[in-house]
């Protein structure tokens, strides 16, 4: 009788330890070097630097723990991904790193419940990517004379992609000429992006309704492993 009780106790303990493994495994945000200091985070992870697809997940920190709030398939640049600190403009690569999210914008109205600063796209809205312009890597409205149309995006022309979007703060605060401009989290187009991160329209709407500027959300972009591993950022 006593031997049976001891055996049962051992089996229960083993079952408990086996069941606890996956639950106790640290979440992706817990494995990042930095999450930006806020209590909301978006991760955009690709398999490797040659990937043009991956996963976007949005997380929130409550009660001292990061929990997943949503997830969607993602698309990256047609050139794959590249280290954000050394990326070159015109390579079609998505820059890896940890970035803030300055504001949202869109051709369509902001989704119900959106509290993030949201800028409406008009016929005069452009994003300047001209390295010789004073407004390099900035929204301009109207387009200034020193920002050539051939070196700028007429935002209203991208009715699908820019239906709704979030500005990713890559090369934004102190722009380095030639590093790259106009990197956003936006709605999927037909395929890989020109360097942005994109998700299905429903996911973009969900992210905008979820994002709270008071919780200081950031986005971490990277690969599953290697020098550009998302956990480095």
SS3 call for 98: strand
Shortest CA distance to 119 belongs to which of 22, 55, 208? 208
- With beta carbons less than 8 A apart as the criterion, state whether 115 and 129 touch: no
Q: What pLDDT does 12 receive?
A: 41
Confidence class for position 168, pLDDT limits 50, 70, 90 = very high
pLDDT for 16 beyond 60: no
Question: Which percentage of the chain shows pLDDT scores above 90?
Answer: 89
For the record, the structure tokens of 23 come out as 């639950």
**pLDDT tens for each residue of 135-165:** 999 999 999 999 999 999 999 999 999 999 9
Residue at token pair 């905008």: 208
- 230 vs 14, residue with greater confidence: 230
For the record, the structure tokens of 150 come out as 């051939």
- With beta carbons less than 8 A apart as the criterion, state whether 206 and 66 touch: no
Residue at token pair 């979440």: 27
Q: What pLDDT does 24 receive?
A: 72
Question: Which percentage of the chain shows pLDDT scores above 70?
Answer: 90
Backbone phi and psi for residue 192, each to the nearest 5 degrees, phi listed first: -60, 160
Asked if the peptide bond before residue 142 counts as cis, ω within 30 degrees of 0, the response is: yes
What's the whole-number mean pLDDT along residues 87-112? 98
Residues forming beta bridges with residue 105, ordered by sequence position: 119, 165
Burial, 205: exposed, middle or buried (Cβ in 10 Å; 0-12, 13-18, 19+)?
A: buried
How many other CB atoms are found less than 10 A from the CB of residue 30?
13
**pLDDT tens for each residue of 24-48:** 789 999 999 999 999 999 999 999 9
Tell me the pTM.
0.90
Q: What pLDDT does 23 receive?
A: 56
């Amino acid at each position: 009788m006593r031997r049976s009780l001891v055996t049962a106790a051992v089996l229960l303990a083993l079952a408990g330890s086996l069941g606890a493994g996956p639950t106790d495994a640290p979440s992706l945000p817990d494995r990042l070097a930095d999450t930006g200091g806020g209590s909301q985070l978006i991760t955009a992870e690709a398999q490797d630097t040659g990937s043009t697809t991956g996963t976007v997940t949005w997380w929130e920190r409550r009660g001292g723990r990061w929990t997943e709030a949503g997830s969607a398939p993602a698309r990256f640049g047609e050139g794959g991904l590249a280290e954000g600190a050394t990326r070159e403009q015109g390579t079609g690569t998505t820059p890896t790193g940890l970035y803030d999210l300055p504001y949202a914008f869109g051709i369509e109205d902001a989704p119900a419940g959106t509290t993030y600063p949201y800028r409406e796209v008009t016929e005069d809205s452009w994003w300047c990517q001209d390295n010789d312009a004073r407004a390099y890597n900035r929204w301009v409205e109207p387009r200034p004379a020193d920002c050539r149309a051939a070196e700028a995006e007429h935002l209203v022309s991208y009715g699908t992609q820019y239906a709704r979007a979030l500005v990713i703060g890559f090369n934004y605060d102190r722009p380095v000429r030639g590093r790259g401009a106009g990197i956003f989290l936006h709605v999927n187009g037909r395929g890989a992006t020109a360097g942005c991160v994109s998700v299905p329209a429903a996911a973009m709407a969900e992210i905008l309704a979820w994002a709270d500027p008071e919780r200081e959300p950031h986005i971490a972009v990277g690969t599953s492993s290697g020098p550009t591993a998302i956990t480095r950022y």
